[in-house]
Amino acid sequence: MPVEKPTAETATFCFLDFDLDNHRSKLARAAAFVAATDTRYGFSSSHLFRLGGAEVSHRVQESYEMDHEWSDSTKPIVTRPPIVGNRIVVKLLWDQAPLACENFATLCANGSDGKPAPTGQSGKPLTYRNSSVHRVVSKFIVQGGDFVFGNGSGGESVFNGKKFKDERLGLLAKHNKRGILSMGNAGKNSNSSQFFFTFAACPQCDGKHVVFGHIVSGWDVLNAMEAMGSSSGDPTASITIIDCGVWKPGEVPGAGFWYDHPDPDSYAGISPTFVVRPRVAVVAPSSAVVQKFEAALDACTVLTPVIVDSASESTQSRVISLLNDFAVDVVVVAPACRQELALPLDVDTFWEGRTVVVQAKPVDALRELRQQTWLKDQEWQLDGIWT
């Protein structure tokens, strides 16, 4: 029996993919350049991600700059994937703010099924896709969702374009930590499509903005956006939502980045690919051991350390919490901590029948999570595997 796919009306989670400083287009141009000129410049491969270290670090950039056909100062390139990915996954609090959740989920879902997003009263597509983040203030908030004007002066709800009311429980909720998802507004009962994430506790927003969700994963993306803030609130470089939709565990990846692979057989000349970086919880006895796992895993995964500490909550409860919140995909346990987890874990039924926990040394961890966990059965393009 096929699994029923979530809709905007039933979505517990949504995702937003943020492109920072046009990294996607810069990487795509580098990939296209290598594919077109590999013979001319003697590159070891026509695939950017298969090139050697020196080629990626120097030769591609140098060749591009001296090529009369390709070189363009207005179209710079980058030769490496983004250090942080694109994706933030959020959980929606429907029991707290159903109108805000329906509005947000619909604006995420519209256009994700291959059909164009419907046009709103403003004449603009009713979707967050291709809209920009217009405000970033460090230690405060990052705000977007104005797909009408892109500067914070516009926005449109899915409710016939009308502004909708503040919801009482959402107003009573606190902006008490990093990663709170809340509605932007221009005063009482003026909600449309603008939203913001908090960088820290923001008590000045309490009672004025409707809280309707929080970040589940993608903290590296949030950190990177905060670093692009300014005192004026204008981002120091462009931040664009390049994709969005309803997120469901096991069907939609939780972390990664977009890569436009050159494809001469495609009408557009590219094959957009979401390159997956598994979200990995690493159970380790110390920060020093975590650093060894980071060296082995960090480039191809998003790592969450769980350091065994008898003075804090149990390792078992922390791992269970991460899995039940769907904040990680797999758990890697250092051999020294093999007694810290009592299997099977008391977790959400989604994880039943899936190999989620593996024991491995840092040097073996990447191979183990790719070959021994449920990820091996997913038809996902994993970062670092290029066939």
DSSP, residue by residue, 243-269: EEEEE-TTTS-SSEEEEEEE-TTSTTS
Record the pTM. 0.95
Residue boundaries of the structural domains of the chain: 13-19+85-250, 278-382
DSSP summary character for residue 345 = P
Q: In the CATH scheme, what is the homologous superfamily, with its name and number, of domain 13-19+85-250?
A: Cyclophilin-like (2.40.100.10)
Buried b / exposed e along 108-125 (16+ C-beta atoms within 10 A): bbbbbeeeebeebebebb
Among 231, 179, 241, which residue's Cα sits nearest to residue 20?
A: 241
- Tens of pLDDT along the chain (387 residues)? 334 455 677 789 999 999 999 999 999 999 999 999 999 999 999 999 999 999 999 999 999 999 999 999 999 999 999 999 999 999 999 999 999 999 999 999 999 988 999 999 999 999 999 999 999 999 999 999 999 999 999 999 999 999 999 999 999 999 999 999 999 999 999 999 999 999 999 999 999 999 999 999 999 999 999 999 999 999 999 999 999 999 999 999 999 999 999 999 999 999 999 999 999 999 999 999 999 999 999 789 999 999 997 555 689 999 999 999 999 999 999 999 999 888 899 999 999 999 999 999 999 999 999 999 999 999 999 998 875
Among 147, 155, 116, which residue's Cα sits nearest to residue 131?
A: 147
Architecture label for domain 278-382: 3-Layer(aba) Sandwich (3.40)
- Residue 194 near residue 182 (C-beta atoms within 8 A): no
